[in-house]
């Protein structure tokens, strides 16, 4: 049964405005300070590509692919399937995420980059679902706050599909098929 992804929640125009606003805020706060941008693969690749082209400071960019496993302990464990190629020591770092839900992945990733000696670690997310939060973490730069719905498009997938949509869609079960 193919899921129904026809309902647009956020248009491509709204996304463009959001990215411009977030970039303005980062440009204002950092000025000419060089920034190491770390998009979290895979979902953040489109947002990061749009964002970095609007940033005005010198930008270094490197990717990480991580996932978190949360067992009995509340802290959880970070699994790194692609690590950085660069040293974060002494650098101002901006983690770029597609969406924050529980917050487990980001809180573990942020702590790891702090432990590695980054001068500062901030978080920029395209979308935020605060109702899903299970750990106390907030983005420093947040694009659009959403209710607790599952979204696809603009980098976000369902089983690897729909990342290419230019807008954000809600996934519904399609009873008709
Ligand atoms: P969490 O904050 O729960 O640790 O993990 C957030 C990650 O789960 C996101 O980076 C994203 O990969 C995935 N995720 C959370 N909410 C959604 C959603 O609504 N749609 C999609 N496609 N992925 C989501
Ligand atoms: Mg992600």
pLDDT digits (tens, 9 = 90+) for 107-164: 999 999 999 999 999 999 999 999 999 999 999 999 999 999 999 999 999 999 999 9
Nearest-atom number in ligand 1 for the CA of 68 is 4
- What CA–CA distance (Å, rounded) separates 106 from 40? 9
Q: What is the pLDDT of residue 177?
A: 46
| Six-digit token string for 87 | 């040293």
CB under 6 Å to ligand 1: residues? Answer: 43, 68, 97-106, 150-152, 156-158
Which tokens belong to 46?
Answer: 């489109």
Return the pLDDT at 149: 93
| Cα-to-chain-centroid distance, residue 164 | 16
Q: Which residues pair with 41 in a beta bridge?
A: 65
- CATH T-level fold of 12-70+80-147: Rossmann fold (3.40.50)
Domain ranges of the chain: 12-70+80-147
What pLDDT digit, counting tens, does each position of 28-85 carry?
999 999 999 999 999 999 999 999 999 999 999 999 999 877 665 546 788 899 999 9
Query: Where would I find the beta strands (DSSP E) of 43-133?
Result: 59-61, 64-69, 77-82, 92-100, 120-128
DSSP-derived pairing of the beta strands 168-172 and 151-152: antiparallel
Q: Structure tokens of 118? A: 């980054």
pLDDT digits (tens, 9 = 90+) for 2-43: 889 999 999 999 999 999 999 999 999 999 999 999 999 999
Question: Is the predicted pLDDT of residue 175 greater than 90, yes or no?
Answer: no
Identify the sign of the CA torsion 59, 60, 63, 68. negative
Residue 101 falls in the annotated catalytic set: yes
Q: How far apart are CA 118 and CA 106, in angstroms?
A: 15
């Amino acid at each position: 049964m193919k899921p129904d992804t026809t309902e647009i929640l956020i248009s491509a125009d709204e996304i463009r405005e959001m990215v411009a606003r977030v970039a303005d805020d980062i440009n204002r706060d950092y000025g000419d300070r060089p920034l190491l941008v770390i998009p979290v693969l895979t979902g953040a690749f489109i947002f990061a590509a749009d964002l970095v082209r609007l940033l005005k400071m010198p930008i270094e960019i490197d990717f990480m692919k991580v996932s978190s496993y949360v067992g009995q302990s509340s802290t959880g464990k970070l699994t790194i399937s692609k690590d950085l190629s660069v040293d974060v020591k002494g650098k101002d770092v901006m983690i770029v995420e597609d969406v924050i839900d529980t917050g487990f992945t980001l809180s573990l990733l942020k702590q790891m980059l702090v432990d590695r000696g980054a001068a500062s670690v901030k978080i920029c997310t395209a979308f935020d679902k605060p109702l899903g939060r299970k750990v106390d973490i907030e983005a420093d730069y947040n694009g659009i706050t959403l209710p607790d719905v599952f979204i696809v498009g603009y980098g976000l997938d369902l089983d690897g599909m729909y990342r290419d949509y230019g807008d954000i869609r809600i996934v519904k079960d399609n009873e008709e098929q």
